[in-house]
Amino acid sequence: MNYEQTYQQLISKHGHVSKPDDGEYYERHHVIPKSLGGADTADNLVYLSGKAHYVAHYLLYKAHGIGPMSHAFWCMSAMGTSGKRHVPNGRSFEVARKAMAEAASKVQTGKKLSDEHKAKMSAAHKGKKLSDEHKAKLAKSANVYNYKTDKLIAEGVVLNNWCRENGYSQGQLSDTTRADRTKPHHWRTNRHQTKGVYARYI
């Protein structure tokens, strides 16, 4: 399918130079998007119905792939649906979500910190010491349990050491100690388990 051609046909058929006075809901649209070099001028602006505007951005995303158009398509899909805005169906919403996720992934892939940034991070952490309270917490003995069965996995261990030896995050496992196991699932803290286990200080 030629998405660019279909897009031009949609603009020709549904685009209006001035806002129609027919009681319908319309949104202003840049024929050539600003992110692709389009100008904010009258000859590059048309009025489209809410649905036609949404379809226009879908076609632009399909024509130009991952990039600015995938971001615009996601914004159209995730934007509040108050008033008379077009509400996307589940399928098109999922397409938009995946497009945005892929675009974000491409932006992050291969990103490296500059030497200056690394130096700033190092300086910020240099000389920091753990408080006595924090040290005592790290050294405090705890029991580790299977989250599903409540079966004891490790007894009287120092969480910091146990996590280092078993590939767990000490911070995340410590968070599980604050959950109330006597209450229903939705009343527990967000960090009620990590990798299928939880801990309790003795």
Percentage of the chain surpassing pLDDT 70? Answer: 76
pLDDT at 35: 84
Q: Domain boundaries in the chain?
A: 3-108, 133-201
Q: What is the pLDDT of residue 125?
A: 63
Mean pLDDT calculated for residue range 143-162: 86
Residues 74-100: tens digit of each pLDDT: 888 876 555 577 777 778 888 888 887
Q: What is the pLDDT of residue 186?
A: 41
Token duo for residue 9: 């046909």
Residue 145 dihedral angles phi and psi, to the nearest 5°: -125, 155
Q: What are the tokens at 125?
A: 């952490």
Distance in angstroms (rounded) separating the CA atoms of residues 26 and 46: 10
Write the CB contacts of 81 (distance below 8 Å, at least 6 apart in sequence). Answer: 87
The whole-number pLDDT of residue 54 equals 92
Q: Which of 1-5, 27-31, 124-128 has the lowest mean pLDDT?
A: 124-128
- CA 34, CA 7: separation in Å to the nearest integer? 16
**H helices of the chain, where?**
3-14, 50-64, 68-78, 90-108, 115-125, 132-139, 159-166, 170-176
Residue 147's pLDDT is 78
Q: In this predicted model, which residue has the larger pLDDT, 49 or 184?
A: 49
Bridge partners (DSSP) listed for residue 27: 48
User: 109 vs 68, 95, 115, 121, CA distance in Å?
Assistant: 17, 21, 18, 21
Looking at residue 99, its pLDDT comes to 80
The neighbour count for residue 56, using CB atoms within 10 Å, is: 26
pLDDT digits (tens, 9 = 90+) for 124-149: 666 666 667 666 666 678 899 887 78
Q: Is 50 exceeded by the pLDDT of residue 196?
A: yes
In the prediction, which pLDDT does 127 show? 66
Per mean pLDDT, which range of 5-19, 59-73, 109-123, 140-154 is the poorest?
A: 109-123
Which pLDDT belongs to residue 188?
42
Q: What is the pLDDT of residue 182?
A: 58
Tell me the pLDDT of the chain averaged across its residues. 79
SS3 per-residue string spanning 33-44: CHHHCCCCCHHH
List pLDDT tens digits, range 171-191: 778 878 876 655 554 434 444
